[in-house]
Amino acid sequence: MVVERQISIACGLLSGALVAPEVLALTRDPARAAGGTVLVGVLLGTLGVLAGWLAALSSEQTPMRWLGYGLVLVLALGLTMSAGLAAVHAHGIGGRVLFTVSALLPLGVPGWLWVRLPR
């Protein structure tokens, strides 16, 4: 049994539950500063992206593999945009750097796995 699917779904749902209210509040109030919940949600989502990418790699059927890649990519793009918005709203340079680095993680993990692991 492949547990990566369940881990990916759980991490994706948890990250969505953490990130979505904060991002909606950031879009409504331009003076609001980004909180740590976005960072925690993006890090959980990155774990979900990693597990989803590994689950897609383990699929023997090519259409299901590409469907898995697409779903993981949509999650990664959403997390990257959320962390980017949080970086724009951060007040200090340290917060901006932290959110920018966390914005690169969801897309960097699948890219690194794509290069390093056999398809």
In the chain, what percentage of residues exceed pLDDT 90?
Answer: 50
Which structural domain range is residue 10 located in? 4-26+34-113
Domain count, the chain: 1
Q: What is the DSSP string of 32-88?
A: PPP-HHHHHHHHHHHHHHHHHHHHHHH-SSHHHHHHHHHHHHHHHHHHHHHHHHHHH
Q: Give a yes or no: residue 119 inside a domain.
A: no
pLDDT of 114 reads: 78
Size of the chain in residues: 119
For the segment 8-32, the average pLDDT, to the nearest whole number, is 91
Split at pLDDT 50, 70, 90, the class of 61 is: confident
Q: Give a yes or no: residue 39 inside a domain.
A: yes
pLDDT digits (tens, 9 = 90+) for 69-114: 898 899 999 999 999 999 999 988 999 999 999 999 998 888 887 7
Q: Indicate if the pLDDT at residue 7 is higher than 60.
A: yes
Q: Give a yes or no: residue 118 inside a domain.
A: no
